């Protein structure tokens, strides 16, 4: 079974680097991350493999879902310790710490068990939505219970005919005489849509009111509790759970709403606006799933590579473990440098969210899509490092690849994130947000100097040229621009990670204290700038290739 050791020194270093001191007392943040990391490694991590093997059980006669053994107890401990509400305002029962702290905690919890972490994550999303859009009366009834984690929340968007195209949803809401609504329809793939961790589940459901305009303009958001205020059971039930590739312990439910009682949040047809409020948080949280799993996979790979002896290592004594083979080193440095880049990107995004900085809007699709693609790539490399044993279930290493895979798909597929980036984010504030980032990359490149500075300057220039080309293409032939969206997201994400790792290299150079730790920080950043960044700079021709090569073969011949 794999274990998890929270990388507290790395987390603390990253918190400092992204400017945690602007948001509060950094020592307190590190203490919280340390204590929570201990909880994750001791209470949650041991359940990860068990949850994968056991999965969840669905009872078709009662429509109940039972989680894996130990899950309920661990969740109760999580709630009792007050971990769920660390970053919410004290008025609603929270701890008042910045979202940055929850982001670091999410990294730890995902590393311990992504399937477990999903339940609090969805609840946190529900809190964000209700906090901003619900009436004072609704907030009074729901928020404290959700902030504490005593109740859990769900997000109900997806239907069989409405996945990426949320505007195609057909669930209906009819007004009732008492001012509430009756919801009818079916939602699929609802994470923790039914479970036994808590009694109450608060479903946030997107539906259409009568005469709603078509598409996303006609979507309204409703609160549909599993139990109504008088204690009776609402007409929402789970009619099945999915059997899936990974996150087996997280129930993925089909929910049927059969004239279920719902309360409208805000005005009719404003549901998408409400969803957008929580989207930056939720997308960042999903990106952090990539970071967390990558950390766990890396730890597994290093532990195995230190022990496994196989073939004589060139340039080393006989009997030296595989960790000294240059090609194994290559994989470990790829993993390590990407993890540090992803962590900085995620934490920097969280700081921007905390500060209400529009940079958050630009960074969020990067933090979501790049970190989940890279999370998968890192998990893949972990299996590779562990060799045949990595492919065998009992080592627990292949689980990371299966678990993390969904993160590139849900909360807006990574393709949709790339479209969001080029369609909405490049021109944020008239393009100033991106221009500021590019200019700061240039300053960091100058300070760095040497090959590291040169590589960063080159990618900054590619970011700029790519954006210019995409803007023009988007205006003249959007199909050309859309063809370059995903390579551009990768280019820009790697550039931002390179920029932040450039700052890491500078901080490590200037720092004093643990010399070995600082040298490793510098070496990791240097590897990324010298070896990873140039590969992403080379994506520019793919960004500007247009759609012609993609369309060259008719769909019928593909």
Ligand X SMILES: Cc1cc2nc3c(=O)[nH]c(=O)nc-3n(C[C@H](O)[C@H](O)[C@H](O)COP(=O)(O)OP(=O)(O)OC[C@H]3O[C@@H](n4cnc5c(N)ncnc54)[C@H](O)[C@@H]3O)c2cc1C
Active site residues: 411
Tell the smallest beta-carbon distance from residue 194 to ligand X (Å).
Answer: 12
* 410 lines the binding site for ligand X (CB under 6 A): yes
* 66 lines the binding site for ligand X (CB under 6 A): no
Contacts of 69 (CB under 8 A, 6+ apart): 50, 54
Tell the smallest beta-carbon distance from residue 388 to ligand X (Å).
Answer: 28
* 252 lines the binding site for ligand X (CB under 6 A): yes
* 416 lines the binding site for ligand X (CB under 6 A): yes
Crossing angle of helices 326-355 and 99-112, rounded to 10°:
150
* 409 lines the binding site for ligand X (CB under 6 A): yes
Closer residue to ligand X, CB minimum distance, 216 or 503: 216
Among residues 489, 496, 507, 487, which one has the least CA distance to residue 456?
496
Closer residue to ligand X, CB minimum distance, 273 or 308: 273
Question: Using only C-alpha atoms, what is the Rg of the chain?
Answer: 24
Q: Tokens representing 265?
A: 């949040």
Tell the smallest beta-carbon distance from residue 203 to ligand X (Å).
Answer: 10
Closer residue to ligand X, CB minimum distance, 121 or 518: 121
Q: How far, in Å, CA of 92 to CA of 89, rounded?
A: 6
Q: Which of 158, 200, 270, 542 binds ligand X (CB under 6 A)?
A: 158
* 222 lines the binding site for ligand X (CB under 6 A): no
Q: Per CB under 6 A, which region of 58-66, 216-224, 405-413, 530-538 contacts ligand X?
A: 405-413
* 156 lines the binding site for ligand X (CB under 6 A): yes
Q: Per CB under 6 A, which region of 21-29, 183-191, 444-452, 466-474 contacts ligand X?
A: 183-191
Per-residue DSSP letters for 494-549?
Answer: HHHHHHHHHHHHHHHHH--S-HHHHHHHHHHHHHIIIIIHHHHHTTHHHHTS-SHH
Q: Which of 58, 78, 83, 189 binds ligand X (CB under 6 A)?
A: 189
* 155 lines the binding site for ligand X (CB under 6 A): yes
Q: Tokens representing 132?
A: 């901003």
Closer residue to ligand X, CB minimum distance, 367 or 525: 367
Closer residue to ligand X, CB minimum distance, 419 or 497: 419
Contacts of 287 (CB under 8 A, 6+ apart): 342, 345, 346, 349, 367, 368, 369, 370, 371, 372, 407
Tell the smallest beta-carbon distance from residue 90 to ligand X (Å).
Answer: 29
Contacts of 362 (CB under 8 A, 6+ apart): 421, 425, 428, 433, 434, 437
* 186 lines the binding site for ligand X (CB under 6 A): no
Q: Which of 19, 95, 163, 478 binds ligand X (CB under 6 A)?
A: 163
525 contacts 508 by C-beta, under 8 angstroms: yes
Q: Per CB under 6 A, which region of 187-195, 226-234, 349-357, 437-445 contacts ligand X?
A: 187-195
Q: Kindly report the backbone phi and psi dihedral angles of residue 10, in degrees, each rounded to the nearest multiple of 5, phi listed first.
A: -65, -40
Q: Per CB under 6 A, which region of 158-166, 255-263, 303-311, 347-355 contacts ligand X?
A: 158-166
Binding residues for ligand X, rule CB under 6 A, total 18
* 113 lines the binding site for ligand X (CB under 6 A): no
64 contacts 194 by C-beta, under 8 angstroms: yes
Using CB under 6 A, which residues numbered 426 to 455 contact ligand X?
A: none
Q: How far, in Å, CA of 383 to CA of 71, rounded?
A: 27
* 489 lines the binding site for ligand X (CB under 6 A): no
Query: Which residue has the CB atom at the shortest distance from ligand X?
Result: 163
Q: How far, in Å, CA of 384 to CA of 331, rounded?
A: 8
Whether the CA torsion 369, 375, 376, 377 is positive or negative: it is positive
Place of tokens 């020592």: 27
Closer residue to ligand X, CB minimum distance, 95 or 415: 415
* 423 lines the binding site for ligand X (CB under 6 A): no
Closer residue to ligand X, CB minimum distance, 247 or 508: 247
Contacts of 62 (CB under 8 A, 6+ apart): none
Closer residue to ligand X, CB minimum distance, 83 or 189: 189
Q: Which residues bind ligand X (CB under 6 A)?
A: 155-158, 163-164, 189-191, 244, 252, 406, 409-410, 413, 415-416, 419
């Amino acid at each position: 079974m794999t274990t998890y050791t929270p990388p507290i020194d790395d987390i603390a270093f990253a918190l400092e680097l992204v400017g945690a001191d602007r948001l509060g007392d950094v020592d307190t943040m590190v203490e919280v991350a340390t204590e929570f990391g201990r909880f994750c490694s001791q209470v949650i991590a041991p359940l990860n493999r068990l949850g994968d093997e056991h999965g969840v059980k669905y009872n078709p006669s009662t429509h109940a879902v039972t989680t894996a053994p130990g899950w309920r107890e661990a969740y109760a401990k999580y709630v009792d310790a007050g971990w769920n509400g660390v970053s919410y305002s004290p008025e609603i029962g929270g701890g008042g710490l910045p979202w940055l702290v929850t982001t670091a905690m999410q990294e730890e919890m995902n590393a311990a068990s992504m399937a477990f972490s999903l339940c609090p994550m969805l609840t946190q999303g529900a809190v964000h939505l209700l906090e901003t859009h619900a009436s004072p009366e609704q907030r009074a009834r729901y928020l404290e219970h959700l902030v504490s984690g005593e109740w859990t929340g769900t997000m109900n968007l997806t239907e069989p005919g409405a996945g990426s195209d949320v505007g195609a949803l057909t669930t209906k809401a009819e007004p009732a005489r008492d001012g509430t609504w009756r919801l009818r329809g079916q939602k699929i793939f609802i994470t923790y849509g039914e479970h036994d961790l808590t009694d109450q589940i608060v479903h946030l459901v997107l539906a259409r009111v009568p005469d709603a305009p078509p598409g996303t303009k006609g979507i309204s958001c409703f609160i549909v509790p599993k139990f109504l205020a008088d204690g009776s059971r609402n007409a929402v039930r789970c009619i099945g759970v999915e059997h899936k590739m990974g996150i087996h312990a997280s129930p993925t439910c089909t929910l049927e709403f059969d004239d279920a009682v719902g309360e409208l949040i805000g005005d009719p047809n404003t549901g998408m606006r409400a969803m957008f409020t929580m989207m930056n948080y939720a997308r960042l949280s999903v990106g952090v799933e990539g970071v967390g799993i990558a950390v766990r996979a890396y730890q597994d790979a290093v532990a195995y590579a230190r022990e496994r002896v196989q073939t004589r290592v060139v340039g080393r004594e006989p009997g030296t473990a595989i960790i000294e083979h240059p090609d194994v080193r290559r994989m470990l440095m790829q993993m390590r440098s990407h993890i540090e880049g992803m962590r900085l990107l995620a934490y920097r995004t969280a700081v921007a969210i905390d500060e209400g900085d529009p940079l958050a809007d630009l960074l969020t699709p990067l933090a979501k899509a790049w970190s989940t693609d890279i999370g998968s790539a890192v998990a893949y490399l972990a299996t590779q490092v562990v060799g045949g044993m990595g492919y065998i279930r009992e080592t627990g290493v292949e689980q990371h690849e299966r678990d993390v895979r969904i993160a590139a798909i849900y909360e807006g597929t990574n393709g949709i994130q790339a479209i969001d980036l080029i369609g909405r984010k490049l021109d944020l504030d008239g393009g100033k947000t991106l221009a500021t980032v590019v200019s700061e990359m240039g300053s960091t490149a100058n300070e760095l100097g040497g090959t590291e500075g040169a590589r960063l300057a080159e990618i900054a220039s590619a970011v700029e040229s790519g954006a210019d080309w995409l803007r023009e293409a988007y205006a003249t032939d959007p199909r050309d621009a859309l063809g370059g969206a995903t390579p551009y997201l990768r280019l820009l994400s790697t550039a931002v990670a390179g920029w932040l790792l450039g700052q890491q290299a500078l901080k490590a150079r200037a720092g004093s204290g643990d010399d070995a730790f600082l040298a490793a920080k510098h070496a990791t950043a240097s590897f990324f700038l010298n070896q990873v960044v140039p590969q992403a700079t080379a994506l520019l021709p793919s960004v500007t290739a247009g759609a012609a090569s993609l369309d060259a073969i008719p769909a019928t011949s593909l």
